Amino acid sequence: MYFLQIMPVTPGAYQSLLQWLEAHMLACPFKKYLHMECLGCGLQRSILLLLKGDVAGSIRMYPATLPILATLAFLLLHLWFRFRHGAAIIKCLQLFVAIVITGFYIYKIIQHQIVI
């Protein structure tokens, strides 16, 4: 398996990268100082689960991960190919991502996973 045809990526190297990423995750300052989760808490862990191949776990951890990645992928495609209505589609995707993030945060508050 090759990454961009430049450097070979072996399964052991990939596992080492995942372990390094797990050990060096950023701490949430919002949670650290206010003792409450922010709207983005869980995104890093969700991306790690996705990199490990656990799509269902990634969605349970942070449901907006896949829509965020899809929006970024479409943005890059739009920058490359200049779609006719690409800017409007990107705005709609961003609105969808914001709704998913806010909805999940409200759900966590209702389920008492976040105490305010």
The long-range contacts involving 56-62, CB below 8 angstroms and separated by at least 24 positions, are 62/104
Q: In this structure, is residue 28 part of a structural domain? A: yes
Q: In this structure, is residue 115 part of a structural domain? A: no
Q: In this structure, is residue 86 part of a structural domain? A: yes
pLDDT at 1: 46
The pLDDT tens digits for 72-110 are 999 999 999 999 999 999 999 999 999 999 999 999 999
Question: Is pLDDT above 70 for 3?
Answer: no
Kindly list the distances between the CA atom of residue 42 and the CA atoms of 5, 34, 77, 78, in Å, as whole numbers in the listed order: 32, 16, 27, 28
Identity of the residue numbered 76 = L
pLDDT at 71: 98
Q: In this structure, is residue 48 part of a structural domain? A: yes
pLDDT at 5: 53
Q: How many domains does the chain have?
A: 1
Kindly list the distances between the CA atom of residue 92 and the CA atoms of 13, 66, 114, in Å, as whole numbers in the listed order: 38, 15, 28
Question: Is pLDDT above 80 for 8?
Answer: no
Q: In this structure, is residue 56 part of a structural domain? A: yes
**pTM of the entire predicted model:** 0.84
Q: In this structure, is residue 19 part of a structural domain? A: yes
Q: Looking at 1-116, which runs of residues are DSSP E strands?
A: 2-3, 7-8
Question: Is pLDDT above 80 for 12?
Answer: yes
Q: In this structure, is residue 29 part of a structural domain? A: yes
Note down the domain range covering 26. Answer: 2-110
Q: In this structure, is residue 34 part of a structural domain? A: yes
The pLDDT tens digits for 19-54 are 999 999 999 999 999 988 999 999 999 999 999 999
Phi/psi for 7 (5° steps) reads -125, 135
Token pair for 63: 């449901």
- Give the three-class secondary structure for 7: strand
Q: How far apart are CA 41 and CA 55, in angstroms?
A: 18
Confidence of residue 68 (pLDDT cuts 50, 70, 90): very high
